[in-house]
Chain A
Amino acid sequence: MANKILLEVVTPDKLLLSKEVDVVVATGVDGEFGVLHGHVPFLASLAIGEMRFKDGNDTDYAAIAGGFAEVTGEKVTILAEAAELAREIDIDRAQRARERAQQRVEKARAEELDYARAEAAMQRAMMRLKVAGRSGGMAA
């Protein structure tokens, strides 16, 4: 078995996750990238997207609302302004957030106000739902 890499997900509210895993795949602004043990020091901006990490045969997902990742040989640190593990996402809440975001986007479009922000909220909401769906399939 190859060496494991320590994955830490840090948000302003808490240390969301600290776990030894085999591989981490995150969504950077230029596309997905995977990290294994012994990766060269690496710094990447993260887009709003999903992150998955594999430990043995278990794959887990988390929704990341943008941020960045710092990689050293032994450790991946994900700094995200908001992040949620798939199994912790409240689907109802996410659904409502998506509807709210939808309204905001439409309103922003009509008034040409803060469109980028509304759209970002929309993206985050959709990402949460997508990631939540992933775990739903597994946990059920």
Chain B
Amino acid sequence: MAALRDIQNKIAAVKKTRQITRAMNMVAAARLRQVQERTERFRPYAAKFSEVLGSLSEGIDQEAHPLLAQPEQVSRVALILITADRGLCGSFNMNLILQAQKFMTQQKSEGREVAFYAVGRKGMEFFARRKVEFAQKLPGVMNVVDFDLATQVARLGLNAFLSGEVQEVYLLYSRFRSIVSQIPTVEKLLPISPEATGDEDESSQEYLTEPSAEEILVDLLPRYLNVRVYSGLLETSTSENAARMAAMDNATKNCKDLIQNLTLAFNKARQAAITTELMDIVGGAEALKAG
């Protein structure tokens, strides 16, 4: 009988777990929609921005601006790693972390130091346990991804770059390709490479400018960084929720399988118990008759 009770308890427990994973799945789905909406609303801004930047940077001496100037020698680079704040989203965070490790090993093998910036708790915790030094860490910020956060992150990179602490700044984020596929991606933020600004513009509009084109560019390029970081943050957040949705969907399915197996075992055990009892009764009756 004890075995029967055990199985029953276990079934109840798995059912509760299933309830939770199902709820988390739905929460992730809702958040995914929210972030996607945000991305959608950001798109016109980003598109217009690249368009203007593209037509503006034509015919301008690329070396003129410090953010465009390619360094002669690189001895130290900055890596900004974006991860989620929370787990339970499959291998999402781990994929990003592994990519970060790979990047760091590679840079070190080329004799460069890496200044490490962690955005999001998971990545921070991982590297803190391994005693990696942070240039800056921002845990607990991925809950609300807004433009202010992007500005804040971009400024970290910008300051390190402009002060000469680092000669290159990279952003590691998760590119959202589809609900089932999110790819850790490393992108060079600074110096801004000319091909990134030279977005193929169809009209190539000639503008009057105020102040001069160079001066506008000075104003525009740091903002461009914000745009890049923001889209990185949005993509990561989208990926995170998609990954969590998939993970929780899997978990719910596993719960279902588990419940099925346990119910089967329970029924078998019950049947066995009934059979034993019957045999006892029949045995007893036979004994009485014989006596």
Contact = CB atoms under 8 A, between A and B. Distances in A.
A10 to B, nearest CB: 5
Give chain B's interface residue range (CB within 8 Å of chain A).
20 to 34
Interface of B: 38, 41-42, 44-46, 48-49, 52, 56, 146-147, 150-151, 205-211, 213, 215-216, 219-220, 223, 226-227, 230
Nearest to B207: A43
A137 interface: no
A41 interface: yes
Given A40-B208, A77-B48, 12 more contacts: A10-B45, A11-B147, A12-B150, A12-B227, A12-B230, A13-B146, A33-B210, A43-B213, A44-B209, A45-B220, A70-B207, A82-B147
Given A10-B44, A13-B147, A79-B45, A68 B220 contact: yes
Interface string A60-79: 00000001101010000101
Contacts of A70: 48, 52, 207
**Majority SS at the chain B contact face:** helix
A28 B210 CA distance: 8
Interface residues of A, number: 24
Nearest to B150: A12
Contacts of A41: 205-208
A92 interface: no
A68 B216 contact: yes
Given A40-B208, A43-B209, A68-B219, A81 B41 contact: no
B211 A43 contact: no
B147 A45 contact: no
Contacts of A11: 45, 147
30 contacts: A10-B48, A11-B147, A12-B42, A12-B45, A12-B227, A13-B146, A13-B147, A15-B44, A29-B210, A29-B211, A30-B210, A30-B211, A33-B210, A41-B206, A42-B210, A43-B52, A43-B56, A43-B207, A43-B208, A43-B209, A43-B213, A45-B210, A45-B215, A45-B216, A45-B220, A68-B220, A70-B207, A72-B205, A81-B223, A82-B147
Q: Looking at A28, A40, A68, which has the most chain B CB atoms within 10 Å of its CB?
A: A68
Q: Looking at B56, B146, B150, B210, which has the most chain A CB atoms within 10 Å of its CB?
A: B210
B209 A12 contact: no
A49 B204 CA distance: 29
Contacts of B220: 45, 68
Contacts of B46: 12
A115 to B, nearest CB: 14
Contact of B226 (A33, A40, A81): A81
Contacts of B213: 43
B227 to A, nearest CB: 8
A43 B48 CA distance: 13
